[in-house]
Amino acid sequence: MLDSRLAADELDRRALALGTAREQRRPIDPLTDALPELAIDDAYAIAQRGVTARIAGGARLVGHKIGLTSVAVQQQLGVTEPDYGALLDVMEIDSGATIEATDFIAPRVELELAFHLADRLTGPEVTAADVRRCTDSVQPAIELVDSRVADWRIRLADTVADNASSAGFVLGGRRRPLGELDVSAVVVELWRGGEVVERGTSSAVLGDPCAAVAWLANALAPFGAALEAGQVVLSGACTRMVAVLPGDDFRGTFGGLGEVRLTVAGPDR
């Protein structure tokens, strides 16, 4: 584990504030307003406390997500490097299911490739080739993101502390072995009803989603963590985030992999 600059009680307090914001759906001011020099190591320590609390409450760790891998999303949020967060079983949503927008604060969706790992990946020298060797299959995914920070006014440390702004994930389409497709050239479209609202390709994810998964394995290493066999990894957004509104019907299409869907309760817009 890396050294923390903040005292343990301060880390606990910030984690509790973010957890309460998520549970009550009442956003808080950016942590970096009060702590402008909040270190990334401390932000990850805050996030881990939040994840540990949810696991203690009965949730189970099933994987990880990588965020901020595309230039488009980095520009949307004014950050310059990726981050990561935990995926818990309570965050998984069935493809085609209907969610309530009011269960979240300011939800958004984006399209990603989900990697299913067959073998353990341990940093710090994991390569994209290692990821290809250790991946069982990939499939389409929608990531549902949300910010417990008011109005998405986040710096990198804010979203890191907030478990990379993760809220939910949807797996759909069909799983295919990695060797059956060019994973860096998957064309995706995000539909809202009958309108395409975002288009992209998997090359938006650090040029190759396998490179993003390798980045994650190496980023976890200083914390004594690894990517485990059986886990799912959301490799990063192929499209920009799109705001979620009541009545939305989202469909993500992935060339050669099928589609994934998510409906939001409410009157049609």
- pTM of the complete model: 0.94
* Rg, C-alpha atoms of the chain: 17
pLDDT tens-digit profile of 212-259?
999 999 999 998 999 999 999 999 999 989 999 999 999 999 998 999
CB 28 within 8 A of CB 34: no
Per-residue pLDDT tens for 68-82? 887 766 776 677 778
Which among 254, 252, 242 has a CA at the least distance from the CA of 108? 242
184/138 Cα distance (integer angstroms): 12
* C-alpha–C-alpha distance, residues 51 and 53, integer Å: 5
Cis peptide before 30 (omega within 30 of 0): no
pLDDT at 3: 56
- How far the first Cα of the chain sits from its last, in Å, is 48
**178-203 pLDDT, tens digit each:** 989 999 999 999 999 999 999 999 99
Most confident of the following: 106-110, 203-207, 265-269: 106-110
Class (C level, CATH) for 8-264: alpha beta
